[in-house]
Amino acid sequence: MNEPRVLALAGLFQAVSLAQQLANQGRCDETAMEASVASVFRIDAPSVAAVYGGVGGVRLGLRALIGQLDDGSRDMALTRMAVTVMRLERSLARRSELGTTLQEGIIAAKRQVAHFGQDSPQVTRRLADLYASTLSILSPRVMVSGHPQFLQQPAVVEKVRVSLLAAVRSAVLWRQVGGRQWQIIVSRRQCSMLARGLLTGAMLDNG
């Protein structure tokens, strides 16, 4: 396990944590959401950290990852979502035509960002529709459980889908830097130590 892999994994856990927050509370950590959505558009970033706008962009994800690696505070629903996203990324890799559609859709959404801004309802809707028309037709489907009062609100559902799109982006990145599922089990302790070090560094950088 190395730092780029830990950061990509933190990006994945951050995005599924955001989906969980939205489903249960109808809102989420806006700073983390901003960094996760931005990662979808940073296709040619020079490093893994740059995909998230710096290590600080995945602070929520690093905390979630540390929580999942420590026996006492594990959230099995979060783990299940993360594992499903990893499997979904493998399904996507086998469907090159869907991958192309997804990439073209992201480029189109990026043009909208220039006009309306990343957090605008127009961009959120475009990305949510893109997730629904590509990734949600693949197996396995990522199941997000929460309160019906929030999951019945179209604006919340859209943000959940955007979070899951960001989660898949991080899963693709994790695979690109040599990440494999078995490494999390075999290198759990090392992964936790690296995540703690990165989180401490990000907190210090932020003052």
Q: Is the pLDDT of residue 50 over 90?
A: yes
Spatial distance between the Cα atoms of 176 and 129, rounded to a whole number of angstroms = 25
pLDDT, average across residues 38-43 = 94
- What pLDDT, on a 0 to 100 scale, did the predictor assign at position 70? 81
pLDDT confidence bin for 206, thresholds 50/70/90: low
- What pLDDT, on a 0 to 100 scale, did the predictor assign at position 51? 97
112 and 50 Cβ atoms separated by less than 8 Å:
no
The number of beta carbons lying within 10 Å of the beta carbon of residue 52 is: 28
Percent pLDDT > 90 in the chain is 87
Place of tokens 């830097």: 177
Helices (H), the chain: 3-25, 30-41, 48-51, 59-69, 76-93, 96-116, 121-133, 148-151, 154-176, 181-186, 188-205
Q: Which domains does the chain have, with CATH numbers?
A: 3-205 (1.10.3890.10)
pLDDT in tens, 158-183: 999 999 999 999 999 999 999 998 88
pLDDT in tens, 109-160: 999 999 999 999 999 999 999 999 999 999 999 999 999 999 999 999 999 9
